Structure 1
Amino acid sequence: MMQSQSKWSRRELLTTLTGAGAAMMLNPVSAWADRINQDEVDPRVAAIVAKTIGVDTHNHIDVPFSAAEVPGPPIDLASEMKRSGLSAICMTFAVDRPELRNPGDAYERFKNALASMDKQLVQNGLKRSLNMTDLRAAHTKHQPTVIQSVEGGHFLEGHLERLEEAYERGLRHLGLLHDNDASVPLGDVYTNPAKLGGLTAFGAEVIKECNRLGILIDLAHANQEMVVAALKLAEHPVIISHTGLDTQLGQNENMARMMRPRLISKEQAKIVANAGGVIGVWTHLADSPLEYAKNVRALVDVIGIDHVCIGTDTKLTPSYRPPSAQDGPGGGQKNERIGERTNLAWQDQKVGFYYTVIDAMLKIGFTEDEIGKFGGGNFCRLFDASTSGHR
């Protein structure tokens, strides 16, 4: 089982690490921005990008949690998506950081974050895809699109009816857990001591409600006991959107040790795949595009090409910092690292993310058909199964 008593979140680990190698250099992202040049794209790669629906199943967008700050500074999500080559992202936010202190805080953050995303999408000329019909139509029109995702059921606070409210606001992808337990927990988080017996009674209710509404279930951050219990209730295959195989640890020992509890074993991967599920491979612990492609290959060798997908756990747009964080020590523009931004996942990256990944996958022998499945086809199968027949 994937358990650890580490108190560190994934982002805290990335922020505190130093000397983490080329993929996590301390250089500001802006210093590398001019290196992305779509003119350098191989025509064969461009052809695959054009005909496949590329989806990052776990891509964070930082937005305000305070009503006074909605919608936050303008973000150029549309341009970043077009640069990436991706057709869609599962546009994700989590509300459990900073620490939740008061009843109702999680719900308030959730509502404000969605309000911000609504306005940012309008400003970018983008729409949410609620089903595969929407996703296919956007791809046909060469129009980037997003699938609304929330990481962690903290906003529910034990109120099941809030899930339908979220559905009406466009939620179609729900990660049941994140780093911290919700005030009414849904299950055991894999980096915390197991204490809930896996899936809780409320967690079971949430899964059933996702089945009823038509929401894709994401079991990232769940320990094995919870995964097994959840699979028994899920009416459709589930996704674990962002992780990596625990044999692929990269070159940095400190990073590998800290990220190890967040990785999946071959046995666990087979449990999800045997239930028809799909597992996302993140860019962490891969020091280059070729290393990333090799990490994908390693997981494919265990569970097959029909059960893997992209799940970077990165951001297309800059981190948001509230006005209160702009002054004093550490204030001002955050110095983001190479590896945190999707289109700058690696130091030597010269073209958008999906272009870079396809090029690397071709170099190690993946076929165009296999790339199409990994790039988005497998996710689309799950998304269609969960949303088909619903509004």
Structure 2
Amino acid sequence: MRLRWRDLGMPRADRSHGVTVEVIGWPTAAWGVSRSDHFLLMAEANCCAGCVPANPLAVIEVQARELLDLDAGVMRLSGTLQVVEGERDAWRYRLCDARPVGGVTRRRLLAASPLVCLPVPAMAQTPPGAVDMHTHAGNIIRASYGRDTLLDVAGPMRTGGLAVICLAIVADGPIIQVSSGRLRPGREPRPGELYEFSKTQFAKVHDLARGQSMAIIRSAAELRAAQASQPAVIVTSEGGDFLEGKIERLDEAYQRWQLRQLQLTHYRPNELGDIQTEPAVHGGLTPFGADVIRRCNQLGIVVDVAHGTYELVKAAASVTTKPLLLSHTGLTQRPSPWTRLITPDHAKAIAATGGVVGIWPVNSIAAISSYAEGIFRMVDQIGVDHVGIGTDQLGLLGPSSLPSYADLPQLTAALRARFNLDETAKLLGGNYQRIFAASLA
């Protein structure tokens, strides 16, 4: 039986306890070990033992018959599958009495994981002008509370070929808490609290950019000129909560902090509208929210409707004169209560404005191939001109399929399994550059 990585966590794998299987993957052992009979096999190539994903559905523990060469790259192994239950700190799947079989052809590699990232340099080169449309990279959230220091983000961006990040503050941060496994508002904000906190966060974004020699992008020309060799930042707010119903603060943020992207809502139903993860209280977009969209169109600020309800999105589409952005989400055909995923109709409402939907790396399997598959599914619904990436780096509650920007070439290679160079460039930044230019025109 050939075991595929997408089988892990599914009945096909769980019913194969004691069955002889074949699996293709990349080995990793302890630091400095090049030969071993006990190691981990993963769905993606990784650089070292310190980068083993925490997700048990992306790793198989291997107990081999003999010492195997782990520096040879991708392996095709045969052995007896064990589904491990009840063992503390154990991986869920174990391949026992494993031995190498045959060679690994490109065809077999693709069969093992159709979207797997091939180590082909020409395919793995990130296109120029790549943009992450939503991120908290650099530890901007914790640093804003004074709990930690800012981390290097420019270095991984240069390594992975990422030119620009839309670096987001969290406007409702002080009142959000984890409840029942999801983020929810824990209390009502005090007057002026979110405004003052947001100013602290905006200052941290500028501190990060200045400390790492990253330019702040204010115009379409500056975005077009951005290169991964000198990464840049677009100042973003996740939530318009700092406005507190005062539209003049939007002008202030535009001038003082160079705000160029505004997400209307986050985890609090606010003065602008309703959110996906709480009961609706406004029926979608509020009149103030409509006014904010109009002012963003006038000033030259990208309007992001991530976290907003479908009703909010439809109303926003009827108000805006510029393309809408939905910076980070994924596709679902059957939405569950309080999901952050969106339906095809929800996505099509964004595309109808000429806008872009950003796919985030939240998947059941923390592998870059699964991230690419999420992008494929959205492209199938709204077309290659309306999809991008929004990693939500250091903002996710669970594991990410793209934990480091240094891994971006692997995503590029996975996308190249289906798309040509021009299409891949659109998905990794070109589509965002288009709506940014239209929003600032």
Shared fold per TM-score greater than 0.5: yes
The answer on 1:113 being equivalent to 2:189 is: no
The answer on 1:283 being equivalent to 2:361 is: yes
Go from structure 1 to structure 2 and tell me whether the alpha carbon gap of 1:205 and 1:315 turns closer, same or farther (over 3 Å shift). same
Letter in 2 for 1:81: M
Post-superposition CA distance 1:241-261 (Å, at most 9, x none): 0110104x9xxxxxx968x71
Paired residue secondary structure (2:275): coil
> Could you tell me which of 280, 283, 286 is aligned with 1:200?
286
Residue 15 of structure 1 aligns with which residue? Answer: none
- Offset, 1:368: 1.2
Residue 217 of structure 1 aligns with which residue? Answer: 303
Post-superposition CA distance 1:111-145 (Å, at most 9, x none): 11111221221110111111221122222x83111
Which has the larger share of helix?
1
Letter in 1 for 2:400: G
Letter in 1 for 2:328: H
Residue 73 of structure 1 aligns with which residue? Answer: 149
Rounded to whole Å, the distance in 1 between the matches of 2:364 and 2:409 is 17
Rounded to whole Å, the distance in 2 between the matches of 1:214 and 1:225 is 24
Post-superposition CA distance 1:135-186 (Å, at most 9, x none): 22222x831111111000110011110001110111001000001123xx10
Alignment map for 1:125-164 (pairs within 5 Å): 125-139=213-227, 142-164=229-251
Residue 314 of structure 1 aligns with which residue? Answer: 393
TM-score, structure 2 normalization: 0.66
Residue 168 of structure 2 aligns with which residue? Answer: 92
CA contact (8 A) 2:216 2:234 kept: yes
Residue 190 of structure 2 aligns with which residue? Answer: 102
Letter in 2 for 1:121: A
- Offset, 1:236: 0.6
Residue 114 of structure 2 aligns with which residue? Answer: none
> Could you tell me which of 359, 368, 372 is aligned with 2:413?
359
Post-superposition CA distance 1:245-300 (Å, at most 9, x none): 104x9xxxxxx968x71111111111221221110111001522112211111111
Go from structure 1 to structure 2 and tell me whether the alpha carbon gap of 1:67 and 1:75 turns closer, same or farther (over 3 Å shift). closer
Residue 3 of structure 1 aligns with which residue? Answer: none
Rounded to whole Å, the distance in 1 between the matches of 2:329 and 2:250 is 25
Flag structure 1 segments of 5+ consecutive residues without an equivalent: 1-18, 28-39, 250-255, 320-335, 345-351
Residue 379 of structure 2 aligns with which residue? Answer: 300
Go from structure 1 to structure 2 and tell me whether the alpha carbon gap of 1:271 and 1:68 turns closer, same or farther (over 3 Å shift). closer
Rounded to whole Å, the distance in 2 between the matches of 1:67 and 1:377 is 31
Residue 174 of structure 1 aligns with which residue? Answer: 262
Go from structure 1 to structure 2 and tell me whether the alpha carbon gap of 1:23 and 1:220 turns closer, same or farther (over 3 Å shift). farther
Go from structure 1 to structure 2 and tell me whether the alpha carbon gap of 1:23 and 1:179 turns closer, same or farther (over 3 Å shift). farther
Letter in 2 for 1:133: A
Go from structure 1 to structure 2 and tell me whether the alpha carbon gap of 1:233 and 1:376 turns closer, same or farther (over 3 Å shift). same
The answer on 1:63 being equivalent to 2:147 is: no
The answer on 1:53 being equivalent to 2:132 is: no
Identity %: 37
Go from structure 1 to structure 2 and tell me whether the alpha carbon gap of 1:66 and 1:278 turns closer, same or farther (over 3 Å shift). closer
Alignment map for 1:226-241 (pairs within 5 Å): 226-241=312-327
- Offset, 1:21: 3.9
Name the count of aligned residue pairs: 317
Post-superposition CA distance 1:20-45 (Å, at most 9, x none): 64469xx9xxxxxxxxxxxx963213
The structure, 1 or 2, with the larger RCO (C-alpha pairs under 8 Å, 6+ apart) is 1
Go from structure 1 to structure 2 and tell me whether the alpha carbon gap of 1:343 and 1:68 turns closer, same or farther (over 3 Å shift). closer
TM-score, structure 1 normalization: 0.74
Go from structure 1 to structure 2 and tell me whether the alpha carbon gap of 1:101 and 1:229 turns closer, same or farther (over 3 Å shift). closer
Go from structure 1 to structure 2 and tell me whether the alpha carbon gap of 1:337 and 1:66 turns closer, same or farther (over 3 Å shift). closer
Query: Over the residues paired in the alignment, what is the CA RMSD in angstroms?
Result: 2.9
Residue 212 of structure 2 aligns with which residue? Answer: 124
Which has the larger share of strand?
2
CA contact (8 A) 2:141 2:169 kept: no
> Could you tell me which of 415, 432, 435 is aligned with 1:379?
432
Flag structure 2 segments of 5+ consecutive residues without an equivalent: 1-53, 60-88, 90-117, 176-187
CA contact (8 A) 1:41 1:355 kept: no
CA contact (8 A) 2:402 2:408 kept: no
CA contact (8 A) 2:370 2:401 kept: no
Paired residue secondary structure (1:241): strand
